[in-house]
Amino acid sequence: MEKIKIHFCDFWRTHTYENDFFVNILKDKYEIAEDDKNPDFVICSCYGREYQKYDCPRIFYTGENITPDFNVYDYAIGFDYIDFDNRYLRVPIYHFLSKFTPKQPMPQKPQKREFCSFLYSNGIYCDNIRIKFFHELSKYKKINSSGRLLNNTGVKVDNKTDYLKNFKFTIAFENSSNKGYITEKIADAFLAHTIPIYWGDPYAGNEFNPEAFIFVNEYKNLDEVIEKIKEIDNNDELYLKMLNAPKVLNDKNYDEKLIEFFDNIFKNKGKILRKDVNKGWYKCNGGEFYLYSGARRKILSKFKNIFLR
């Protein structure tokens, strides 16, 4: 097998070479070696600027709602629907974090489950619809919140799937709404056999079956969403029909696409395509601009008319 030297940098704190999803996908075809001295390629994310130390081709990966800057990176993998020859591939993060093999038995008596879960820590870098919906739906029934955000149970959750399986519904709101930006939140709910109340990617219905979740984006307002939840909550037949509906509309073959994507990159070993104009500035969809430093991000501006290449 061909040997490829790669250095991973600027990922989240728990990321390691051993658990990296790209290595696991490519290891049957390539001999992937970790090398921080003289790598053939750097694979970097959005939580730092170490990538600037390396002159080899850079492959950017983001699990955040961030549009890659191709003046800074040679290739990128992210959420956006971008057509940029062979330099970009869309692979949502849920593909790496969740597999759709059920981990819990399908409940047959939903009335024995608690009403709804809310499991979040982030209440700052997110749209305020998340907190607003929590308070509005709480007027109907208690929502069990066991994350750091709005915790009302005193519970510390160690296993997300084991926790979510105890509820009929799960609030699965993204940090923001943008075309293509869909994370593990809806997938985790499916794996626990709980119905996601989902808000986020307006095109989520192209990937997941709308008959299997409550698609908040499709409703005129939150009052309509809550009325639908009440209807399903009080009708076991309707609830079980939604719970048993197929989840994924079709197989996107993301692993095959990733292998093809990296095949093309590795064939062009050493070829630099970036222009290095912006030196690590990122545009977050929704109009906010961030500079990442380690695991912290500083909001620089919320004005959409700021020039950024």
In tens, the pLDDT along 141-197 reads 999 999 999 999 998 898 998 999 999 999 999 999 999 999 999 999 998 999 999
Average pLDDT over residues 285-305: 38
Pairing of strands 58-61, 195-199: unpaired
Which of 3-7, 63-67, 70-74 has the least mean pLDDT?
63-67
Domains of the chain: 2-95+254-301 (3.40.50.11650), 101-243 (3.40.50.11660)
CA dist., res. 296 & res. 115, Å (int) = 35
Between 283 and 128, name the one with better pLDDT: 128
> What is the per-residue pLDDT for 145?
96
pLDDT tens digit string along 34-59? Answer: 999 999 999 999 999 999 999 999 99
Which helix H or strand E contains 9, and what residues bound it?
strand 2-9
Q: Could you report the per-residue pLDDT of 254-282, keeping only the tens digit for each?
A: 899 999 999 999 998 888 999 875 554 44
Q: What's the longest Cα–Cα distance across the chain?
A: 62
Q: What is the pLDDT of residue 98?
A: 57
pLDDT band of 308, cuts 50, 70, 90: very low
What is the per-residue pLDDT for 250? 73
pLDDT of residue 248: 85
At 121 the pLDDT is 87
Average pLDDT, the chain: 86
Residue 277 confidence (pLDDT): 54
Residue 70's pLDDT band, with cuts at 50, 70 and 90, is very high
161 close to 192: Cβ distance less than 8 angstroms: yes
Query: CA gyration radius for the chain?
Result: 21
Tell me: the pLDDT tens digits for 100-115? 455 555 666 666 789 9
- Cα separation of 57 and 276, whole Å? 11
Per the model's pLDDT, the better-predicted residue between 283 and 23 turns out to be 23
Alpha carbons 159 and 152: distance in angstroms, whole number:
18
Q: Let me know: does 20 contact 8? Beta carbons within 8 Å.
A: yes
Give the model's pLDDT for residue 170.
97
pLDDT at 269: 82
Q: 126: pLDDT confidence band, cut at 50, 70 and 90?
A: confident
Classify the C-alpha dihedral 257-258-259-264 as positive or negative: positive
pLDDT grade for 124, boundaries at 50, 70 and 90: confident
**Percentage above 70 pLDDT, the chain:** 84
What's the confidence (pLDDT) of residue 299?
37
- pLDDT (average), residues 65-76: 94
31 - beta bridge partners?
3
